[in-house]
Structure 1
Amino acid sequence: MFKVEDKVYPCCTSLTMKYIGGKWKTVILIHLKNNTLRYNEIRKTIPTISERTLSLQLKQLEEDGLISRKVIATDKPPLRVEYSMTDFGKTLIPLLDMISSWGEEAIKWDDKIEVVKK
């Protein structure tokens, strides 16, 4: 068992899911795995996520140490904010790649999956 702050995780799998679980965290991380992106750039790559959810997920990923948030001062508002993966976050890249690959295989196996054009 593992304890993080006040929460106990019964196994390594549940600990991993603490970091990447949910609908959006892995999607955000996949977009950041090779890129430094601004908030609006992330938003454009994931058009179905709400602004509130994106903000909350970015904050959680930052608190968990998987991404970093860099504020860059500009001559006039708004400030420029960039997000990128930390070294700790980059340790997830092989897992993210495997998750993506599995999804590609699932498309071939599950006839209920419909490919939708953007």
Structure 2
Amino acid sequence: MPKTRTFTCGLDAAIAVVGGKWKGLILFALQDGPLRFGELRRAVPGISERVLILQLREMETTGLLEREVYHQVPPKVEYSLTEFGRSLNTAMAVLGEWGEEHLDRIEAIPWDRLR
């Protein structure tokens, strides 16, 4: 019996992995190398500590990033992109360029009326 597919297409699968407001910004923040939790929090303005923790756990579970714990005093934890995460960042770069190109038009959309 053939396996039932969870996703209808590649775009559906990609959006499932990166869905939400914060994951793309976290990916972007980690593009230049590992960051500690506090550094990530500063690099993603507006995210709460709780939401950042949840998003990092999800991204670790999906294989987008790695969490490395250094056993020292004080404890140190760094987050970095996996190859899977870097490949998604590459794909997201094109979407970011599109957003930059159309930023004025997107800013003019009456978002409060659409929600």
TM (normalized to structure 2)? 0.84
Counterpart residue identity of residue 14, structure 1: D
- Which residue matches 1:66? 64
- Which residue matches 1:105? 101
- Which residue matches 1:88? 84
Structure-2 separation of matches of 1:58 and 1:2: 29
Any conservation in 2 of the 1:2–1:15 contact (CA below 8 Å)?
no
Instruction: Give per-residue Cα distances to partners, 1:72-109, cap 9 Å, x unaligned.
Output: 11224xx2110000011111132121122111112143
Q: How many residues align?
A: 107
Instruction: Give per-residue Cα distances to partners, 1:7-53, cap 9 Å, x unaligned.
Output: x2121111111111110001100111122100000001112001111
Q: 2:27 aligns with which of 23, 26, 29?
A: 29
Percent identity, aligned pairs only, is 37
TM (normalized to structure 1)? 0.82
Give the unaligned 5+ runs of structure 1.
114-118
Structure-1 separation of matches of 2:4 and 2:47: 31
- Which residue matches 1:50? 48
Cα separation, partners in 2 of 1:105 and 1:2, compared to 1, 3 Å: farther
Please list every run of at least 4 consecutive aligned residues from structure 1 whose deviation after the TM superposition is greater than 3 angstroms: 108-111
